[in-house]
Every structure is written in structure tokens, then in C-alpha cells.
A = this chain, B = another copy of it.
Amino acid sequence: MEVWRLARVLSRTLCLNKSTCGAVLVTSPFLSGGTTVLQGITSRSYSSTGPAVTESTALVYRRHGDPSQVVQLETRKLPELEAKSVLVKILASPINPADINMIQGTWRTASVFNEGDLVTVPNDISVLSAATLGVNPCTAFRMLSDFESLVAGDTVIQNAANSGVGQAVIQIAAAKGVHTINVVRDRPDLQQLTDRLSAMGATYVIKEEMLRKPEIKDIFKVCPRPKLALNGVGGKSATELLRHLQTGGTMVTYGGMAKQPVTVPVSALIFKDVKVRGFWVTQWKRDNKHNDEALRFMLDELCTLIGAGKLSAPSCTEVGMKDFHKALDNAMKPYISSKQILVM
């Protein structure tokens, strides 16, 4: 059965295997012969009368180093298709910080998966939303669900508020009626950034310096101290978040942009009972590989928010696959707020 299905892909990493990477993607209505096709609608599909695809163009690397130096474009032959194989044409694929930190796979134009390893998304969401759904919104969703029981009126504080995860946190929290205090680094276009995050639903957008000023207490006259802190930075920034947590609150670390450890005062642990945790969405997907319900529930919730216009894709820059050098370089620049999406 050689079928070319022009499909949507949630994310490059997600394509590899549902059991290690979680969700993906689009299967064709033609492919329903008793197999476990998870619900969802194919975006577009071609019958097997389409042209035979035997090769994929892929970004691969063979040695460690500066990503834009070591990654190169190669053409690779696709494997023979077997009974339950699905040949997937990739439409778009984001470059995530985790990809940069530990490049282990490749970006590619087409690939073959076992159909059991794929999961569908509705076809009424945009390619960019679908391409960026699998990592950042899932990370935000789980961190807001799995550590503290948040209800409308509660507060979450986060640094890296302008990151892909940060923007998803703002929007998912706002949809729940949860206040967010969003810490960003000072920058020339701060007002513009503040306006953009506020439009997404951010309750407060503050500079990191503000965390150390007495004026921050004015915020806690309006909304309660945070139950949950989300840390994508580490170092001093994380310690400052901790200081403002409620007694018994949790800080979840999901990234370490500052390349410094998380330093926790002993008194915060003993007398304020703060809980210091970490989260890695890839591990969550591994742990839940047999829990299709949890994955399905999360994707449905996120796609509902997207469909309702409450969860937008992060600012994206679409880059042709041949310009991957530029995309990789941009993905590593600290102040580029735009996610690089390779369009195939």
C-alpha cells in the first residue's frame, strides 16, 4: 500500500513516535480498515494515484557543534512501505530551543510512521498552530494542570513570559480566569511587548528588576500571591520568583536559559514549604504513552482554545527549508521573540 498523504504535523519531534514524543497528526479517511486511527480529520489527502514519493529532503547532522555549521541538507531514500505504514509529507516544522540544545533527530520533508504512532488534530486550525501545538502549549497545559490545583482568581507568576511556553501559559491561564504575573527582561521595545502580552490576557507584565522592589506588593493587594511559579530561566530570576510564592506553593522549572542552577533558600523550603519541581514534556509523553485518553483530552482542550481564538500560535517566522542556516541562527538569538518555522 503506497499512499502519499499530505498531512499536517504537530511538530518535528512529535512525528517520530507517539510513545517517545507524544501526539501527532493527521491520518487519511482512506486509512480506516480496522486499525487504531485516533479520531480527527485529515487536512488534505491524496489517493495512491498520486506520484510515488521515494525520497525525503532532510536536515541532518553528523557531529556536534554550532547548529548552523553542523546541520546540512541531504536527500534520503524512504523505506519500503508495509501494511500499516503511513507516508507523511511534512508541511511545516518549528525549531524549538530543545532541538538546538540537543539535536538528536532531523527536520525532513517526508517520513514514514506506524499508524498507531500518529494522532490526529482537527483540520480547522492553521498549519502554524498545528506545527507549534506539540511542545509549548502542551508544556504550558501540563504545568498549569499537574502541580497545583488552580481555580479562577488564583495567580501564577512566570519568567520568560515572552517565550513560546510563556505565551501559551498567559492564554491558557486567562481562559481559566487565572491571573498571570509575567516577568520579562528589559528591552527597547518593552511597551510594545507589554501591549502584545496584555492583549493575550496577561494580568501584569513586569521587568525583572521589579521583582526586587517594594512596589511589587501593590500587585498582591489586587490578586493573591502566586500558588504556582513557572521558571524557564534559572539563576537569580528563579530565586526571585520563589520569594513571591504563597506558603506551600510550587515552582516548576522547565528551562534554564540563564545557564545557572536554581538556588533555593533553606528557609523557603522549611518554613514556607515551597515545592521545587521540574517538568519535561517529552518525559510526560513517554510516561503517558499508553494513556491515549490523557493525550486526547489535552489536545482537544488546546484545539478548542485555538478554534475559539483564545490560544494563538506564537509569533512565527516562516523560513524555507533551504534557508535553514538563517533559521537556526535566529533560533539561538536571545532577543528574537519569533519562533522559526521551517516550511517544506
Residue ranges of A at the interface with B (Cβ–Cβ < 8 Å): 234, 253-256, 260-280, 283
Contacts and interface: CB of A to CB of B under 8 A. Distances in A.
A263 B280 CA distance: 20
Contact of A270 (B254, B260, B272): B254
B261 A266 contact: yes
Nearest to A262: B264
Nearest to A235: B266
A64 B273 CA distance: 26
A298 B260 CA distance: 41
26 contacts: A234-B266, A253-B266, A253-B269, A255-B266, A255-B270, A256-B267, A261-B263, A261-B264, A261-B266, A262-B265, A262-B266, A263-B263, A264-B264, A264-B276, A269-B277, A270-B278, A270-B279, A271-B278, A271-B280, A273-B278, A273-B280, A274-B278, A275-B275, A275-B277, A276-B276, A276-B277
A280 B270 contact: yes
Contact of A276 (B234, B267, B269): B269
B283 A278 contact: no
Contact of A269 (B265, B267, B278): B278
Contact of A253 (B255, B260, B270): B270
Nearest to A264: B262
Nearest to A276: B276
A253 B269 CA distance: 7
Contacts of A234: 266
Contacts of A266: 234, 253, 255-256, 260-262, 278
Contact of A261 (B253, B265, B272): B265
- Of the listed residues A264, A278, A280, the one surrounded by the most CB atoms of chain B closer than 10 A to its CB is A278
Contact of A283 (B267, B273, B279): B273
A50 to B, nearest CB: 41
A5 to B, nearest CB: 34
Contact of A263 (B255, B262, B274, B278): B262
Contacts of A255: 266, 270
